[in-house]
Structure 1
Amino acid sequence: MVDVPIAAQADPMAAQALPAGVPTPTATPTDRTGTGVRGALRVAPGATVTLALAVPAGSIAALLLPAAVAGSVDAVVRGDSASGPTVRLIAVLVLGLLAGLLAEIAGPGLAAELTARLRRRLAVHVTDLGTGSRNPFPAGDVTSRLVGAAPDAAGLVPSLLGTLGALVTSLGGIVALALIDPWLAVGFLGGLLPGLLVVRVFMARATDLFGRYQAVQGGLAGRLTDALAGARTIRACGTRDREIARILAPLPELSAAGHGLWRAQRSAVAQVLLLAPMVELTVLATAGWLLAEGRIPPGQMVAAAGYAALGLGFLEQVEALVGVAHARAGRIRAAELLAVEPAGYGTARTLPPGGGELVFRGVRVRVPEGEAGSGGGRAVLDGIDLTVPAGACVALVGASGSGKSTLAALAGRLREPDEGEVLLDGLPVTRLARGELRRGVAYAFPRPVLVGADLAEALAYGRPGADPEALTRAARMAYADDFVRRLPAGYATRTDGLALSGGEVQRLGLARALVQDARVLVLDDATSGLDTVTEHHIHEAFRTGLADRTRIVVAHRAAAAADADFVAWLDSGRIKALGPHRELWSDPAYRAVFTREERT
């Protein structure tokens, strides 16, 4: 187990179909993502209101412009003073300019605020889900939803407002044509109805194609993430070309979705470009006939041309409609991730009295159908009953896949049991608040990630504000203090680009867990990168310095098991035997466990 959310290496292409247990969002998902109008008003009320006012103001200015131009033309034709109509024309132009500027500022600002909030929500949600069955999405797919789907979803309100503004302007243009003369509106609508059908078909196709494109893109990202994690293995095995082919295998499907979208957009644009001139010619011919009949003045003919262009504006908003389709697809993908419910935490904000007794009572963990390596839903842990006395050290021993790391993960709720419960000093861990659980159980992993600007901050990551003496004391116990002090800046050394060996990083991970000062310390193969002598010294230091702390050690070496008070020998998800290492050592099958582990 590692201390970052790395998903099981399932086929990333499975991201196109939701994993088992994930609710299927409807075509119009609820505002789970917080990127709808209500969410926009909560996150950025100023930008939302500004945009909501600027868009209709722009529509009003656009609708007033042809009338203002018509007034100026009629004044000139009649030989009247054009000063009044000119002032009105300038005022309309200024209103349109200001509305456009405000929309250009507020729209991107609102999208940026919503993107930041949604990305934070998704990041927190993914962290709460953790690894295993509660997070069924591959790591690369999760990354694509954070990086790609979030900004797409955040563009929904600006795109919708812009599209609605274009629609209002178009409807206003049609109404203005009817007010000039009903025949103008009749001529316009005759050509508009086919255009609306084109837009409707395009939106349906575009949303589906965008969803497919993003799903395949997420699958490709998942494959790339897996390859980056195993870069050394790929290089050692000389399988670079084969791995490149595996990563790029989804490209044909990605290309098909992209080309399908381009074809749909090209078709829609071509049809609109054919319809628009025909509609404008119909309106102008009708206006010319009305002018010849003396039913409208010359200025109204100019206005009719302007309103016809405005009425057709909605059909020419293909790019805006693409934005709406993109936003809808991104919103659905973000909602899919948010629909996976994380485990809830309790309300107990004080640890119960005790020294760290840990009880596993009838716990069962099954790998859900559809998860990588599930084998049809096999049991990883099957009815485990185990009591670890306060202050004792238990080594979890077993062959690979026997459930050692899964059992260790249950103590701090890094994984949830499907049945049974885990108690810390008599209280179910599910009743503890998040902070209290972290103060109760600390973890060290085989491949720790140093999170923090410098080493001091990284060591205090699980206990912000820990004093320097606590950091130094923990580093000494983990045999890390000497090499840290040899670094140019000691504990102030920056973690970015810091070159450390695997064993040194593991010792820093151990020190970080010690700094948390928790009642229970879980070492999940946390000394696998150390030589046996250093490992023994560390376990001896823990035995004397942490005599009052409960320790769970996932052991792959006989020496680590020998240093524990007793061993829980797991086999196929069940406890095969309990007892001191020296007593179990007489069993050839027990000795064979370590032989297989060392070969692995």
Structure 2
Amino acid sequence: MRGSSQRERPRPAARVITFGAVVRHGGRWIPVIGLAALVDSLVVLALPFVFGRTVDAIVTGGDVGRWLLVAMGLIVVGIVSDLVDTFADAACVAGTTAWLRNRLIRQVLAIGPAAGRRFTTGDLVSRVSGNAVDAAQAGPSVVTVGAAALPPVGSLALLAYIDVWLAAAFLGGVSLVGLVLLAFTRRTAEAALAYQETQARIAGRLTESLSGIRTIAAAGTVGREEDRVLEPLPDLHDHGARAWRVLARSSAQSAVVGPIVLVAVLAAGGLQVVDGRITAGELFAASQYAVLGAGLGGLTGVFAEFARARAGVARAAEVFAVPPLRYGRMHLPPGPGRLEFCGVTVRGEESPLLDGVDLVVPGGVAVAVVGHSGAGKSVLAALAARLRDPDEGQVLLDGVPLHEVDHDSLRAAVGCAFERPELVGATTGDAIGLGLERDLVEAAAHATHAYEFVSRLPDGFDTPLHDAPMSGGERQRIGLARAWHAGRLLVLDDATSSLDTVTELQISRTLTSDEGRRTRLIVTHRAATAARADLVVWLEQGRVRAFGPHAQLSGDPAYREVFG
């Protein structure tokens, strides 16, 4: 029966994010920051004019007090605008960071296992934590960079109002400063992106080491592992040094160009004072406007923040560029769990992982999947569980393509257990069946022989996971119990490899004598498990070499070699 799902699933995260989208998310804070920056720039532009009038009043005996009061008022307004800008900037960055992290996490979860194939865990953590903060600076940095253009433009206009020759001298010097800042921004963005990428490489390697810390300690390879994790450190140093060199070069260039602006304006202004074309106060104001132009070189920090924001957005955009696993709107019709692979191909980096696989697994049977390492067993299992999609062909469950099945319907029908299960949830019971009734959780634990050790924990199924140390075999039993709720297809990817012989035999018997109520696809390296299965799929170099009962296949010496 085909139809739409009864309730709408949340839509997957957007597949693209841009610098402009991050800026726009600043919402109401961006105008506030812009207004505060505008007011501050106007105050900066007005003060030299007011001080110039004050100087003229002193020289001519005018009303000095009035101009001093105006100057004090402007200073108070400038202080208030700075406080508003600081608060709005912090609020904007905090809100945008939270929004961006939320979207990144949702996107990573929507991508599913494909995220692990594209990015390392440490790299993803680096993007969600550090790079998201850098990217969130996009809105304030754009406003700040835009506001930085107002003082020199206003200074040019006011200098032209005082005297056109002052404006000409100012314009020539400021143009050089602008070129310096443009070159600085471009080079800093490149260095910042390279630095962030290298940081992510180190974080990824450290995450790998922490997950295998006991193995490293037991093997006595701590020193070599330290060298491996820190191997990119010289690159990190080089990228950091490159950024500092860009900053130093730009600062030096600004330090040379800035005084040229001031000297040019003062020289032109001095000549105009001698000729009587401008007053002493106007010369003072002109010198302050020249200082504003010369001070553009001090904005390298502002442009560096802008460059880091661009690099952070670029890193986030790479995650959003990976298409998420999308689900359809169909329910599965009644059926025994018949599984079909139709012309399925999955490409690897160098060669196909599966190559044109055509296979029909009857419903309700136990099927063992065997083959040498690299034959494609885990890929076949991932396709059956729809943890990934094939590059060509399609996989059907009871006649319905898996990619067309509604999320809830598919996940209720299909369960997966893995060789190294990651247990999630607050308690041991949550790890087996978060949100399920306790009797269902206990039934799954009994079926997979996890009940024996869970019942001995201090609080049984309510024991916090961090207070429930488990062996590899016990973790596998919890993983099996979590998958046991599947109603139609149970996919086990070497999920009993860490069990002791007796427990493995007990669970294997349970799996292979499941009263035909669901299909079981069991990736295994053990001949005994294959022998108890109804059928065996023998994979070799991504193709199905044979499909049939174990007893029939075992006459082939090459088949027996698969089990060592």
TM > 0.5 fold call: yes
Is 2:192 the partner of 1:223? no
Deviation at 1:191, TM superposition (A): 2.2
Greater shift, 433-442 or 161-170, is seen at 433-442
In 2, Cα distance between the equivalents of 1:335 and 1:185? Answer: 43
Which deviations, in whole Å up to 9, do the C-alpha atoms of 1:222-248 show, x marking residues without a partner? 333333344344334333333333333
User: Which of 515, 519, 528 is residue 550 of structure 1 equivalent to?
Assistant: 519
Which deviations, in whole Å up to 9, do the C-alpha atoms of 1:245-302 show, x marking residues without a partner? 3333322222222212111110111121222223223323433443343333333233
Greater shift, 328-337 or 418-427, is seen at 328-337
Greater shift, 168-177 or 138-147, is seen at 138-147
CA contact (8 A) 2:259 2:294 kept: no
Q: Which residue of 1 aligns with 2:8?
A: none
Q: Which residue of 1 aligns with 2:534?
A: 565
Q: 1:295 to 1:546 in 2, by over 3 A?
A: farther
CA contact (8 A) 1:170 1:313 kept: no
Q: Which residue of 2 aligns with 1:485?
A: 455
Q: Which residue of 1 aligns with 2:253?
A: 271
Which deviations, in whole Å up to 9, do the C-alpha atoms of 1:444-464 show, x marking residues without a partner? 111111111222332234xxx
Give the partner amino acid of 1:390.
G
Q: Which residue of 2 aligns with 1:155?
A: 137
User: Which of 475, 481, 505 is residue 475 of structure 2 equivalent to?
Assistant: 505
Q: 1:325 to 1:524 in 2, by over 3 A?
A: same
Q: 1:418 to 1:333 in 2, by over 3 A?
A: same
Q: Which residue of 2 aligns with 1:74?
A: 56
User: Which of 137, 151, 165 is residue 147 of structure 2 equivalent to?
Assistant: 165
Greater shift, 442-451 or 213-222, is seen at 213-222
Give SS of 2:562's match. Answer: helix
Is 2:532 the partner of 1:593? no
CA contact (8 A) 1:133 1:367 kept: no
Q: Which residue of 2 aligns with 1:442?
A: 415
Q: Which residue of 1 aligns with 2:36?
A: 54
Q: Which residue of 2 aligns with 1:528?
A: 497
Give the partner amino acid of 2:332.
L
CA contact (8 A) 2:145 2:302 kept: yes
Give SS of 2:484's match. Answer: helix
Deviation at 1:133, TM superposition (A): 9.3
Q: Which residue of 1 aligns with 2:446?
A: 476
Q: 1:94 to 1:497 in 2, by over 3 A?
A: farther
Q: Which residue of 1 aligns with 2:17?
A: 33
Which deviations, in whole Å up to 9, do the C-alpha atoms of 1:511-530 show, x marking residues without a partner? 11124x33211111111111
1:11-22 alignment, distance < 5 Å: none
In 1, Cα distance between the equivalents of 2:60 and 2:513? Answer: 106
In 2, Cα distance between the equivalents of 1:500 and 1:427? Answer: 39
Percent of aligned pairs with the same residue?
43
User: Which of 340, 343, 349 is residue 322 of structure 2 equivalent to?
Assistant: 340
In 2, Cα distance between the equivalents of 1:95 and 1:231? Answer: 58
Deviation at 1:82, TM superposition (A): 4.1
Q: 1:179 to 1:529 in 2, by over 3 A?
A: same
User: Which of 397, 401, 406 is residue 428 of structure 1 equivalent to?
Assistant: 401
Which deviations, in whole Å up to 9, do the C-alpha atoms of 1:2-22 show, x marking residues without a partner? xxxxxxxxxxxxxxxxxxxxx
Instruction: Report the count of equivalent residues.
Output: 551
Give the partner amino acid of 1:48.
I
Greater shift, 468-477 or 277-286, is seen at 277-286
Q: Which residue of 2 aligns with 1:367?
A: 348
Greater shift, 503-512 or 562-571, is seen at 562-571
Give the partner amino acid of 2:142.
L
Give SS of 1:354's match. Answer: coil
In 2, Cα distance between the equivalents of 1:274 and 1:497? Answer: 64
Is 2:544 the partner of 1:575? yes
CA contact (8 A) 1:115 1:154 kept: yes
Deviation at 1:83, TM superposition (A): 4.6
Give SS of 1:45's match. Answer: coil
Give the partner amino acid of 2:88.
A
Give the partner amino acid of 1:397.
V
Q: 1:31 to 1:580 in 2, by over 3 A?
A: closer
CA contact (8 A) 1:356 1:550 kept: yes
Deviation at 1:56, TM superposition (A): 1.5
Give SS of 1:171's match. Answer: helix
Which deviations, in whole Å up to 9, do the C-alpha atoms of 1:301-351 show, x marking residues without a partner? 332222222223322201111111222222222223322323433232x22
Give the partner amino acid of 1:416.
D
Q: 1:31 to 1:361 in 2, by over 3 A?
A: closer
Is 2:206 the partner of 1:237? no
In 1, Cα distance between the equivalents of 2:356 and 2:218? Answer: 40
Deviation at 1:72, TM superposition (A): 3.5
User: Which of 379, 403, 406 is residue 379 of structure 2 equivalent to?
Assistant: 406
Is 2:425 the partner of 1:466? no
Give SS of 1:575's match. Answer: strand
1:269-348 alignment, distance < 5 Å: 269-348=251-330
CA contact (8 A) 1:532 1:559 kept: no
Give the partner amino acid of 2:463.
T
Give the partner amino acid of 2:334.
P
Q: Which residue of 1 aligns with 2:389?
A: 416
Give SS of 2:322's match. Answer: coil
Q: Which residue of 2 aligns with 1:383?
A: 356
Deviation at 1:406, TM superposition (A): 0.7
Give SS of 1:552's match. Answer: strand
User: Which of 159, 168, 179 is residue 197 of structure 1 equivalent to?
Assistant: 179
Give the partner amino acid of 1:364.
T
Q: Which residue of 2 aligns with 1:353?
A: 334
In 1, Cα distance between the equivalents of 2:453 and 2:15? Answer: 52
Greater shift, 534-543 or 418-427, is seen at 534-543
Greater shift, 304-313 or 413-422, is seen at 304-313
Q: 1:116 to 1:310 in 2, by over 3 A?
A: same
Q: 1:527 to 1:351 in 2, by over 3 A?
A: same
In 2, Cα distance between the equivalents of 1:188 and 1:44? Answer: 35
Which deviations, in whole Å up to 9, do the C-alpha atoms of 1:338-373 show, x marking residues without a partner? 22323433232x2222232211122122213xxxxx
Deviation at 1:174, TM superposition (A): 1.8
User: Which of 455, 466, 475 is residue 496 of structure 1 equivalent to?
Assistant: 466
Give SS of 1:188's match. Answer: helix
Which deviations, in whole Å up to 9, do the C-alpha atoms of 1:162-198 show, x marking residues without a partner? 1111111221122111112112212222322322222
Give the partner amino acid of 1:485.
S
Deviation at 1:423, TM superposition (A): 0.4
Structure 1 stretches of at least 4 aligned residues deviating more than 6 Å after TM superposition: none
In 1, Cα distance between the equivalents of 2:461 and 2:530? Answer: 32
TM-score of the two chains, using structure 2 as the length reference? 0.91
Which deviations, in whole Å up to 9, do the C-alpha atoms of 1:14-61 show, x marking residues without a partner? xxxxxxxxxxxxxxxx9942542x4443x4422222212222122122
Q: 1:31 to 1:238 in 2, by over 3 A?
A: closer
Unaligned residue ranges in structure 1 (runs of 5+) = 1-29, 369-376, 596-600
Q: 1:443 to 1:60 in 2, by over 3 A?
A: same
CA contact (8 A) 1:477 1:542 kept: no
User: Which of 518, 526, 534 is residue 487 of structure 2 equivalent to?
Assistant: 518
TM-score of the two chains, using structure 1 as the length reference? 0.86
CA contact (8 A) 1:135 1:340 kept: no
In 1, Cα distance between the equivalents of 2:15 and 2:151? Answer: 28
CA contact (8 A) 1:438 1:518 kept: no
In 2, Cα distance between the equivalents of 1:578 and 1:198? Answer: 70
Give SS of 2:496's match. Answer: coil
Deviation at 1:552, TM superposition (A): 0.8
In 2, Cα distance between the equivalents of 1:110 and 1:538? Answer: 55
Q: RMSD between aligned alpha carbons?
A: 2.5
CA contact (8 A) 2:15 2:324 kept: no
